[in-house]
Structure 1
Amino acid sequence: MRTMMASMKTALFVFLHWVLQCAVCRDVTLPVGPLHRVAGFSLSLPCAVSGYEGPRTQDFEWFLYREDGGGRQMGVVSTRDKGFPYFPFQSRVQNGEVRVERDSGDKVRLVIQRLRPEDQGKFECYTPSTDSTYQGNYSATVIVKVIPDTLQISYTRSLTSQPVPEGAEIALTCSASIRSEQLTHLSIMFGKRGGVEGSRSGAGGEVSTVREIISIDNMLGVVPGRTYKTRYDNGDVTLEKRNGEAGQGVYVMKIRAVQPDDTGSYFCEASQWILDPDRSWQKIAQRTLDIGNLTVQQLAESLSVASSPKGEVTPQIGSPVILTCEVMGLPSEVKSGLLVQWMKRGSVSSNVGPGGVEVEVARMSPDGVVSWGDDLSRSSGGSMEKVAEGRYSLKLFSARPSDSGVYRCVVSVFAGRSNPGRSTPATLTQTSEGVGLNMKTENVLISAVAQLPRGPLLKRGSTITLICNVTVTTTSPAQAQVKWLRWPIPEPVLKMERSPVSDAPVVEKPTLIATLMYDGVAKIFANGSEVSIDRLSAVSYRLRVHMATMDDQGLYACQVEAWKQDPHGSWYDTQAKAESNRVTVYLYARAADLLLIPLVVGVSSALFVGIVIIAAVTCCFMKRLARQRARK
């Protein structure tokens, strides 16, 4: 029994020793074969060694056993012996067509730049021993099959040197096919070399930048290039496959609206792929075909926008005004959407200079929809039309003084997009020179005086009455439009508290109380008390605040505007304004309010005195009663 146990221990020890030795023994690996590669294209065989002793940089020797060589071994290339290659490989090794590229000290790859049919056979990777004992495998083999080159590529029409206008659509067609007994896949890629920067390079030579535009990969998926991803998502760059003659695939790439950056040299690239036994896809053949050069003519070089009439126009009040915007230099072969806007800056009364605020009067979108800007009343008193191709008009049926200003036509072009989306950026925006519109207006003089009629002191709960006397001097009838404003009463500032250098006073915005329109319509705005406004006479206007509260105190003033009628009967603001003096309204306390404090004080004092007296009397009475009981 003991003998059997000793034998088992010995066997186990030998087995473990062998396992440990094999765990660190040399191992050479190559890809799993057979590998199919195409004649005329490159072959790359990686070989790695592990579990070795000695230096980290190992040597490698490659052998070939040709199928027609009767099993004879041929030296291909070695990392340690320049005279290693056999005669068929000597010249190929010398000119670098056959070489060993080292990835690391123990990993290399055999590269045959142009594979030949006679290279078919079994390749062996051998690593000379640097170990103290000879253990493991020192070589590995893989079978390489050389298949004929059947990859074909062509195009139907090349690009010419004729410039293409910005926004035009281009279509590039490339045909490709493969005929192979093995299951291989085909991928197609359209690309571009160079661009705007490359074509303007200096004396140092043109720097060619290659960009992948779009491709159909080996799994038949459409993949846009990194810099074309957004344009592909927007539908501006597309690629589709069609069935051609004799089994050829026809691939059509379209760029919907070319941009200046699309300038460059275009090419089509077809690649043949195969699935190796290790389930990895390998590119085994590739051909590139130049399609031609594209030059994009920028829209900025030809586009111009002009408005008419030129200079300054001085129409009469109520007369019609027509402004015209003309867009020139658009390529006729490109369908482009236009956004046309009329902008206005300044007016006669505001005297706004070039730095003033510019507002939109009207616009026409690319789909022909007209919308009006800040002055919505113009939607019924004017029109914007497309009178001809590239010509747009703005009509004001009855000009008003508020229409005075400098008008400009702003045109945004969406090159190649007749109906762009709201988020689509404009290709180019240009602005015309300004047209001055200066209305002929008569002089209107206007003044206003606010007053608080004499009467009893105003108290909380009283009715505040304010009068605004207006004087309008003009040659034709006019109506006044009166606004009542209120400012808070400024807090008193003691002279002792004033510093030698004081900041500018803070001007508070007034509160709009009410407005009596030129047509007699009263508008009451937010206010804590009940408010009424009326017209006492042709020149006198009244504001009343009923049941006034302390919040109604303040500085009151009236603001007056003069309105007149044009020959068509429409009312317009003459831009003549005047603001009255400010009247201080202060509310005094009522008599009941003044008696409230002494009344409360008196009642409290009486209650206190009464309580003291009652307490004193009660205390004395109880003491006397206690004495009488003690005598008994």
Structure 2
Amino acid sequence: MSTTMASMKTPLLLFLHWVLQCAVCRDVTLPAGPLYRVAGFPLSLPCVVSGHEGPRTQDFEWFLYRDNAGGLQMGVVSTRDKGFPYAPFQPRVRNGEVRVERDSGDAVRLVVQRLRAEDQGKYECYTPSTDSAYQGNYSGSVTVKVIPDTLQISYTRSLTGLPVPEGAELTLTCSAGISSDQLTHLSITFGKRGAAEASGSGAGEEVSTVREIISIDNLLGIVPGRSYKKRYDDGEITLEKRNGEGGQGVYVMRMRAVRPEDTGAYFCEASQWIRDPDRSWQKIAQRTLDIGNLTVQQLAESLSVTSSPRGGVTLQIGSPLILTCEVLGLPPEVDSGLLVQWMKRGSVSSDDVGAGGVEVEVARMSTDGVVSWGDDLSRASGGSMEKVAEGRFSLKLFSARPADTGVYRCVVSVYAGRANPGPSTPVTLTQRSEGVTVNLKTKDVLVSAVAQLPRGPLLKRGSTITLICNATVTTTGPAQVQVRWLRWPIPAPVLNKRQGSDVASPDPPVIEKPTQIAALMYDGVANIYVNGSEVSVDRLSAVSYRLRVHTAAMEDQGMYACHAEAWGQDPHGGWYNTGVKAESNAVTVYLYARAADLLLIPLVIGVSSSLFVGIVIIATVTCCFMKRLARQRAQK
């Protein structure tokens, strides 16, 4: 039995020894074949050697067995012997058309810059031995088939180089096709060469940049260039394939609205692809066709916005105000969307007049012709904004008011090449017109206001507070008064002195922001602004206005004042705010405690005193009892 085991052990050991040796054997690897490549285009064959001994940098020798040479071996190129190439390859090796490029010490590639029909055959990559023992394979081979060049590319119309206005549509057409017995695919790329400032180089130095705009890849997928992806996603750049004559495909790229950065030299590139036995796609042919140069003329160089009447205008109150905005310099061949706005700065009804103050929007017309009004929505029925002609817009206020005074400007935002832009579409250019100053001839208006607290019983919590505001307006023509009631907290010195409610004090100091209580508008509408109290306002006579706070609480006491604003009537019967105001004196309202509240004071004091005396008595009795009990225990 032991003899049998020994006889089996010896072959097993020999097999394991052979496996270990083969694990470190030299191995030369090339791509699987056959490889189909196109005549006139580059051939690149990688060759990698592994499992070798000796130096890391290995030498390589390439041989060719031509199909028409009956298996005759021809030296192509070597990394160690300059005289290695056979005569047909010597001039090609000398001028670099055939060469070996090293990727690493043990990996190289044979490069044939321009493949010829006679280059077809089996290529062998041989690695001279640097091993201590000859084992493994020292060469590998792959078959290369050279197929004719059938890639064709053309264009129907080239760019003329004449300036194209910003926002115009650019259409480029490229035709391409292949005719091959092998299954090959075609890809098309539209690109642009332009000048860009080089980083890290001298100031002002420019280098040429190539950007891919959009492609149809070898699998018929649309691939936008990295710099053009957003424009492709927004639908501004498209690429479609059509069937052309002679089996060629017609590829049409459209750029919806060109921009200044689109200036450059455009080209169309067609590539032929084949799938190798290792399932990888390889580009085997490529042609580039220059379509021409594009120069984009910026809109800012031609666009201008003017408004009229020039300078300013002075009107009577109630007269119509008509302003016109004209947009000039828009290219007629470009269909652009316009957003037109009328802006106004300053008014007689505020402290910001003329060039000061905040600029507000009066009205706007969107790109689809919809008119909307700014904060003063009442103008929607008292004015209009229209497009009276191409590039000409008008703003009409049927009856001008003092609040309409100020400096008006027309602001135009242009969406070049986009007649109906989306919400996220960027504006191409925004320009403003010069200002038009609008003044109104106003009538002399005087307003006065006096607040008073009628005499009566002392005001207590739960009483009704009644205040009177006498407001008068002196002017020509019909007028109305709009009255607002405000309340400030009572200052601490006044509160401590407990002055009566009929004591009038000077104008309230601006210590805290007042609370707006109520208002009686010029048209008789009452507005109540506080929620905690029952408040009413009414008009007693032509000049007398009343505020009542029912069931007053302690938070309703304070310093009250009324503000009066004068409103006038225009010739058309419409009412307007003259901007003239008056503030009354302040009236202090203090609420006294009720009699029922005062009766609670002795009751509370009596109950508190009784509790205190009882606690003292109980504590005294308990203490004495405990002391006596302690003495009795001590005697025992």
Task: Bin the TM-score by the shorter chain.
Answer: over 0.9
Q: Which residue of 2 aligns with 1:627?
A: none
Q: How far apart, in 1, do the equivalents of 2:77 and 2:556 lie?
A: 105
Q: Which residue of 1 aligns with 2:56?
A: 56
Q: How far has the Cα of 1:203 moved from its partner?
A: 11
Asked whether the 8 Å contact 1:239–1:252 carries over to 2, the reply is yes
Asked whether the 8 Å contact 2:461–2:592 carries over to 1, the reply is yes
Where 2:6 maps in the other structure, the secondary structure is helix
Where 1:295 maps in the other structure, the secondary structure is strand
Q: How far apart, in 2, do the equivalents of 1:6 and 1:507 lie?
A: 113
Q: How far has the Cα of 1:474 moved from its partner?
A: 1.3
Kindly indicate whether residue 558 of structure 2 is the aligned counterpart of residue 554 of structure 1. Answer: yes
Q: How far has the Cα of 1:582 moved from its partner?
A: 2.1
Whichever residue aligns with residue 403 of structure 1, its letter is D
Asked whether the 8 Å contact 1:195–1:263 carries over to 2, the reply is no
Q: How far apart, in 1, do the equivalents of 2:385 and 2:559 lie?
A: 46
Q: How far has the Cα of 1:374 moved from its partner?
A: 0.6
Asked whether the 8 Å contact 2:464–2:552 carries over to 1, the reply is yes
Q: How many residues align?
A: 608
Whichever residue aligns with residue 407 of structure 1, its letter is Y
Q: Which residue of 1 aligns with 2:549?
A: 545
Asked whether the 8 Å contact 2:342–2:362 carries over to 1, the reply is yes
Q: How far has the Cα of 1:348 moved from its partner?
A: 2.8
Q: How far apart, in 1, do the equivalents of 2:119 and 2:588 lie?
A: 110
Q: How far has the Cα of 1:513 moved from its partner?
A: 0.9
Q: How far apart, in 2, do the equivalents of 1:445 and 1:203 lie?
A: 68
Q: How does 1:24-35 map to 2 (within 5 A)?
A: 24-35=24-35
Decide whether aligned partners of structure 1 residues 480 and 86 sit closer, same or farther in structure 2, where only a CA change above 3 A counts. same
Q: How far apart, in 2, do the equivalents of 1:30 and 1:612 lie?
A: 113
Q: Which residue of 1 aligns with 2:498?
A: none
Where 1:556 maps in the other structure, the secondary structure is strand
Moved more, 427-436 or 345-354: 345-354
Picking from 567, 580, 598, the partner of 1:576 is 580
Q: How does 1:365-384 map to 2 (within 5 A)?
A: 365-384=366-385
Q: Which residue of 1 aligns with 2:301?
A: 301
Q: How far has the Cα of 1:227 moved from its partner?
A: 0.6
Kindly indicate whether residue 410 of structure 2 is the aligned counterpart of residue 409 of structure 1. Answer: yes
Whichever residue aligns with residue 43 of structure 1, its letter is L
1:90-116 superposed Cα distances (whole Å, 9 cap, x missing partner): 111111101111111111100000001
Q: How far has the Cα of 1:471 moved from its partner?
A: 2.5
Q: Which residue of 2 aligns with 1:88?
A: 88
Q: How far apart, in 2, do the equivalents of 1:159 and 1:202 lie?
A: 32
Q: Which residue of 2 aligns with 1:387?
A: 388
Q: Which residue of 1 aligns with 2:626?
A: none
Asked whether the 8 Å contact 2:364–2:373 carries over to 1, the reply is yes
Q: Report the identity percentage.
A: 83
Q: How does 1:39-188 map to 2 (within 5 A)?
A: 39-188=39-188
Asked whether the 8 Å contact 1:196–1:260 carries over to 2, the reply is no
Q: How far apart, in 1, do the equivalents of 2:132 and 2:308 lie?
A: 98
Moved more, 275-284 or 68-77: 68-77
Q: How far has the Cα of 1:170 moved from its partner?
A: 1.4
Asked whether the 8 Å contact 1:513–1:527 carries over to 2, the reply is no
Q: How far apart, in 1, do the equivalents of 2:258 and 2:182 lie?
A: 40
Q: Which residue of 1 aligns with 2:440?
A: 439
Decide whether aligned partners of structure 1 residues 7 and 466 sit closer, same or farther in structure 2, where only a CA change above 3 A counts. same
Moved more, 89-98 or 343-352: 343-352
Decide whether aligned partners of structure 1 residues 197 and 295 sit closer, same or farther in structure 2, where only a CA change above 3 A counts. farther
Q: How does 1:479-498 map to 2 (within 5 A)?
A: 479-491=480-492
Decide whether aligned partners of structure 1 residues 611 and 576 sit closer, same or farther in structure 2, where only a CA change above 3 A counts. closer
Kindly indicate whether residue 400 of structure 2 is the aligned counterpart of residue 399 of structure 1. Answer: yes
Q: Which residue of 1 aligns with 2:320?
A: 320
Give the 4+ runs in structure 1 shifted more than 6 A. 201-205, 607-617
Whichever residue aligns with residue 371 of structure 1, its letter is S
Q: How does 1:279-294 map to 2 (within 5 A)?
A: 279-294=279-294
Asked whether the 8 Å contact 2:196–2:206 carries over to 1, the reply is no
Q: How far has the Cα of 1:602 moved from its partner?
A: 1.6
Whichever residue aligns with residue 329 of structure 2, its letter is G
Kindly indicate whether residue 260 of structure 2 is the aligned counterpart of residue 260 of structure 1. Answer: yes
Q: How far has the Cα of 1:392 moved from its partner?
A: 0.4
Decide whether aligned partners of structure 1 residues 35 and 526 sit closer, same or farther in structure 2, where only a CA change above 3 A counts. same
Kindly indicate whether residue 472 of structure 2 is the aligned counterpart of residue 471 of structure 1. Answer: yes
Where 2:287 maps in the other structure, the secondary structure is strand
Asked whether the 8 Å contact 2:155–2:175 carries over to 1, the reply is yes
Where 1:68 maps in the other structure, the secondary structure is helix
Where 2:143 maps in the other structure, the secondary structure is strand
Q: Which residue of 2 aligns with 1:497?
A: none
Q: How far apart, in 2, do the equivalents of 1:33 and 1:78 lie?
A: 22
Whichever residue aligns with residue 333 of structure 1, its letter is E
Q: How far apart, in 2, do the equivalents of 1:612 and 1:195 lie?
A: 102
Asked whether the 8 Å contact 2:310–2:436 carries over to 1, the reply is yes
1:468-516 superposed Cα distances (whole Å, 9 cap, x missing partner): 121322122311100001122345699xxxxxxxxxx984322211111
Moved more, 592-601 or 314-323: 592-601
Which runs of 5 or more residues in structure 1 are unaligned?
A: 495-504, 618-632
Q: Which residue of 1 aligns with 2:251?
A: 251
Q: Which residue of 2 aligns with 1:357?
A: 358
Q: Which residue of 1 aligns with 2:634?
A: none
Cα RMSD (Å) of the superposition?
Answer: 2.4
Where 1:114 maps in the other structure, the secondary structure is coil
Decide whether aligned partners of structure 1 residues 89 and 610 sit closer, same or farther in structure 2, where only a CA change above 3 A counts. closer
Decide whether aligned partners of structure 1 residues 507 and 337 sit closer, same or farther in structure 2, where only a CA change above 3 A counts. farther
1:229-259 superposed Cα distances (whole Å, 9 cap, x missing partner): 0111111100000000111100000111111
Q: Which residue of 2 aligns with 1:626?
A: none
Asked whether the 8 Å contact 2:477–2:569 carries over to 1, the reply is no
Q: How far has the Cα of 1:589 moved from its partner?
A: 1.7
Q: How far apart, in 1, do the equivalents of 2:490 and 2:123 lie?
A: 103
Asked whether the 8 Å contact 1:470–1:539 carries over to 2, the reply is yes
Q: How far has the Cα of 1:542 moved from its partner?
A: 1.2
Where 2:69 maps in the other structure, the secondary structure is coil
Q: How far has the Cα of 1:279 moved from its partner?
A: 0.2
Q: How far has the Cα of 1:611 moved from its partner?
A: 9.7
Q: Which residue of 1 aligns with 2:452?
A: 451
Where 1:537 maps in the other structure, the secondary structure is coil
Asked whether the 8 Å contact 1:46–1:107 carries over to 2, the reply is yes
Q: Which residue of 2 aligns with 1:621?
A: none
Kindly indicate whether residue 509 of structure 2 is the aligned counterpart of residue 508 of structure 1. Answer: no
Q: How far apart, in 1, do the equivalents of 2:61 and 2:614 lie?
A: 128
Q: How far apart, in 2, do the equivalents of 1:539 and 1:584 lie?
A: 22
Decide whether aligned partners of structure 1 residues 121 and 436 sit closer, same or farther in structure 2, where only a CA change above 3 A counts. same
Moved more, 603-612 or 478-487: 603-612
Q: Which residue of 1 aligns with 2:628?
A: none
Q: How far apart, in 2, do the equivalents of 1:413 and 1:453 lie?
A: 64
Q: How far apart, in 2, do the equivalents of 1:133 and 1:238 lie?
A: 63
Q: How far apart, in 1, do the equivalents of 2:128 and 2:617 lie?
A: 129
Q: How far apart, in 2, do the equivalents of 1:414 and 1:244 lie?
A: 35
